[in-house]
């Protein structure tokens, strides 16, 4: 660190001090060098801490000393090189399935046969293996993952987190060649694992699907299998048995996305009076920002599993809150007044149910106010509009050779009404049509519909309605869309 690296104002102050007392220069340089050394030490400590934080996490009971020092002398049943381990650690190693003489089969991951393994499952029975499956990898067509949930690995390493192994299906299929005997690589692996007592679910079949979502802030994918729902693949990997799911709730429904919440039962161990007691509790897991196009698939899955759907209960609660809250109508209530049958979404403005018949939903239903007397109001509005238009036409179009009567003296631009140009200077008309010059003809070519006699005047009522709908749409919140979901049959 030099004087030039300091802020300009500090440089000026130090320079002035040195000019005033030249002997102080040596002391100032020593101070700069001292703090430069301190900063270097702090930087090294932070770097060391960062490496420690990113290192594989071990439990307090983790013990690597129980791992075999070598795999030499064991009988190898299957070996697959260079597999990418995604959990519980991240490393590229070889997968080895084998057995030492007189002992049960093991699955281990190691760099070399003569080295201690990085990870080992020494118990592959159903007592230790909770669940095993092979799944597709989103956005990687050729990739697959082997997921194994277990109770403990040898040495209790990496907090006994699930094992996730990624492999390239196409490359391994080519490497195995004739060994596959006209079967797929996935089918071959399923048979090998089954021979070890590991009943593995094929998660690559057509009935298994996944959706992109978030759990809190972690982005991942939610897989829907017959007996399991899995969220992965960033830590923590969540695995739910469908038998433990009490209820499903759809929340935060918008036009583009929605959330799914799972109420999951699990047991917790409490110590009371020196005795360990297992108690059942329910925990809620929410998965957010799921694309609306995935709703039908998820809802069909929920129905096929016969989960309790609590969305309707929450929706009715939201409706009661809307009715018992402020008397000021919300955005959804205002929107209901502008669409046919809209009152049925949230009920009438005073909180009472709308008992009108289905005539409001007919194709010839006229858009009107939210009151019951739609037809009278509509006819009265049409009559007033016709009278207003008639008066306007009389004022705008005069007899041949007469000047136009102008309502807005500040509007200097010509008006185009029913295919005729009327300016404020007064022009001659021939049989009700203005005599056109060559310049006028060129001007008139800009309007495509004038030969038809169509009115180019914008329909202000339509523009106003469209703008109101846009404004109301922007004002809708999650509760409003949740109520709409019931009306449209979404929930």
> Residues of the chain with pLDDT > 90: what percent?
44
pLDDT band per the 50, 70, 90 thresholds, residue 235: confident
pLDDT beyond 50 at 53: no
What was the pLDDT predicted at 392? 53
pLDDT band per the 50, 70, 90 thresholds, residue 155: very high
Averaged pLDDT, 240-246: 95
> Residues of the chain with pLDDT > 70: what percent?
57
Bigger pLDDT: 191 or 358? Answer: 191
What was the pLDDT predicted at 353? 45
- Whether 246 and 265 have beta carbons less than 8 Å apart is answered as yes
* DSSP E strand boundaries for 171-305: 200-203, 209-215, 218-224, 228-232, 238-241, 245-251, 257-272, 275-291
Tokens 């669940």 appear where? 131
In the chain, what are the domains?
A: 64-203 (2.30.29.120), 209-309 (2.30.29.30), 326-407+415-491 (no CATH)
Task: Identify the CA nearest to 159 among candidates 53, 265, 87.
Answer: 87
Q: Is residue 174 within a helix (H) or strand (E), and if so which, with residue range?
A: helix 169-176
Q: Give the range among 25-39, 152-166, 307-321 with minimum mean pLDDT.
A: 307-321
Residues with Cβ within 8 Å of 45's Cβ and at least 6 positions away in sequence, in order, are none
Question: 246 — phi, psi (to 5°)?
Answer: -80, -40
Averaged pLDDT, 88-95: 95
pLDDT beyond 90 at 455: no
What was the pLDDT predicted at 413? 43
Highest mean pLDDT among 148-152, 368-372, 384-388: 148-152
Running DSSP on this structure, what letter comes out for residue 358?
G
What are the CA-CA distances from residue 470 to residues 239, 338, 475, 482 (Å)?
A: 42, 12, 9, 19
Task: Identify the CA nearest to 301 among candidates 245, 257, 258, 254.
Answer: 245
pLDDT band per the 50, 70, 90 thresholds, residue 189: very high
pLDDT beyond 80 at 303: yes
Bigger pLDDT: 367 or 230? Answer: 230
Residue 78: exposure state from Cβ atoms within 10 A (0-12, 13-18, ≥19): middle
pLDDT band per the 50, 70, 90 thresholds, residue 204: very high
Q: What is the DSSP string of 49-79?
A: HHHHHHSPP--TT--GGGS-S--TTSEEEEE
Pairing of strands 245-251, 308-309: parallel
Pairing of strands 415-417, 420-422: antiparallel
109-145 as b/e, with b when 16 or more CB fall inside 10 Å? Answer: bbeebeebbbbbbbbbeeeebebbbbbbbeeeeebbb
In 3-state terms, what secondary structure has residue 355? coil
Pinpoint the alpha helices (H) of 237-286. none
| Average pLDDT of the residues of the chain | 74
User: Quick one: tokens of 171?
Assistant: 């490359």
Angle at 153 between CA 147 and CA 159, to 5 degrees: 85
Bigger pLDDT: 101 or 491? Answer: 101
Strand partners, 223: 210, 230
pLDDT beyond 90 at 91: yes
Q: Give the range among 115-129, 183-197, 268-282, 413-427 with minimum mean pLDDT.
A: 413-427
User: Quick one: tokens of 295?
Assistant: 């709703």
Averaged pLDDT, 404-411: 45
What was the pLDDT predicted at 466? 64
Bigger pLDDT: 473 or 181? Answer: 181
Q: Give per-residue pLDDT as tens, 316-325.
A: 454 445 444 5
What was the pLDDT predicted at 448? 44
User: Quick one: tokens of 7?
Assistant: 């802020």
Highest mean pLDDT among 52-56, 92-96, 322-326, 420-424: 92-96
User: Quick one: tokens of 358?
Assistant: 């289905």
pLDDT beyond 60 at 280: yes
Averaged pLDDT, 300-316: 81
């Amino acid at each position: 660190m030099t004087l030039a690296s300091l802020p300009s104002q500090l440089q000026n102050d130090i320079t002035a001090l040195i000019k005033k007392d030249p002997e102080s220069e040596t002391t100032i340089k020593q101070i700069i060098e001292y703090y430069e050394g301190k900063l270097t030490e702090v930087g090294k400590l932070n770097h060391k801490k960062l490496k420690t934080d990113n290192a594989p996490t071990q439990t307090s009971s983790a013990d690597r000393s129980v791992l075999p020092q070598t795999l030499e002398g064991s009988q190898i049943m299957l070996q697959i090189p260079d597999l990418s381990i995604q959990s519980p650690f991240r490393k590229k190693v070889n997968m080895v399935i084998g057995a030492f003489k007189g002992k049960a089969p093991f699955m281990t991951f190691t760099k070399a046969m003569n080295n201690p393994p990085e990870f080992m499952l020494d118990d592959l029975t159903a007592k230790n293996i909770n669940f095993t499956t092979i799944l597709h990898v989103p956005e990687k067509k050729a990739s697959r993952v082997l997921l194994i949930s277990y109770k403990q690995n040898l040495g209790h390493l990496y907090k006994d987190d699930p094992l996730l192994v990624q492999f390239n299906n196409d490359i391994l299929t080519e490497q195995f060649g004739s060994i596959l005997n006209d079967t797929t690589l996935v089918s071959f692996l399923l048979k090998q694992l089954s021979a070890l007592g590991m009943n593995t679910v094929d998660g690559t079949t057509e009935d298994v699907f996944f959706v992109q979502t978030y759990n809190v802030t972690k982005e991942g994918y939610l897989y829907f299998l017959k007996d399991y729902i899995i969220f992965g693949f960033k830590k923590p990997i969540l695995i739910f048995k469908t038998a433990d799911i009490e209820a499903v709730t759809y929340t935060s429904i918008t036009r583009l996305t929605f959330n799914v919440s799972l109420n999951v039962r699990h047991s917790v161990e409490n110590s009371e009076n020196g005795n360990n007691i297992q108690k059942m509790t329910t925990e809620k897991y929410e998965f957010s920002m799921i694309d609306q196009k995935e709703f039908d698939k998820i809802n069909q899955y929920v129905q096929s599993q016969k989960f309790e759907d609590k969305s309707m209960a929450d929706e009715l609660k939201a409706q009661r809150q809307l009715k018992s809250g402020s008397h000021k109508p919300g955005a959804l209530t205002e929107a209901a007044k502008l669409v046919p049958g809209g009152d049925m979404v949230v009920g009438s403005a005073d909180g009472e149910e709308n008992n009108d018949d289905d005539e409001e939903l007919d194709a010839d239903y006229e858009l009107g106010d939210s009151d019951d007397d739609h037809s009278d109001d509509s006819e009265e509005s049409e009559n007033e509009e016709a009278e207003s238009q008639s008066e306007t036409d009389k004022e705008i179009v005069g007899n041949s050779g007469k000047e136009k009567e102008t309502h807005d003296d500040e509007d200097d631009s010509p008006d185009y009404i029913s295919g005729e140009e009327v300016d404020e200077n007064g022009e001659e008309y021939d049989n009700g049509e203005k005599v056109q010059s060559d310049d006028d003809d060129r001007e008139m070519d800009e309007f495509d519909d004038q030969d038809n006699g169509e009115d180019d005047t914008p329909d202000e009522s339509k523009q106003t309605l469209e703008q109101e709908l846009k404004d109301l749409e922007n004002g809708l919140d999650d509760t409003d869309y949740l109520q709409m979901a019931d009306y449209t049959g979404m929930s």
